[in-house]
Amino acid sequence: MVTKDEVVMTKHAQDEAMDDGISRVEIAEAISRGPRFLEGNHFITIYRHFTVVFEKLGDKFKVITVHLGRPKGWNKK
């Protein structure tokens, strides 16, 4: 299980999460429990009502962006 201390967020991800009302705990839960899809060098997870794009950096998870809903054109399950 990923903890909020293992989540490192970019400024963009912090702003997006704050705007959408998504907490760091919810993001950690999404990384732990949501399905992961590899796209380029990043992982995408869609969990509950939001999407998280992140990279694995050693024992940390660098969150690139967070937003409500699914990405446009997303057709994977």
Calpha distance 15→36 (Å, rounded): 23
- Mean pLDDT in residue range 16-29: 96
Res 77 pLDDT > 60: no
**Every domain of the chain and the residues it spans:** 4-68
Calpha distance 69→77 (Å, rounded): 14
Q: Could you give the C-alpha distances from 73 to 8, 16, 55, in angstroms and in order? A: 27, 20, 21
Q: Specify whether the CB–CB gap between 31 and 45 falls below 8 A.
A: yes
- Mean pLDDT in residue range 23-47: 95
Calpha distance 42→44 (Å, rounded): 7
Res 43 pLDDT > 60: yes
Q: Which CATH class is domain 4-68?
A: alpha beta
Predicted pLDDT at 2: 94
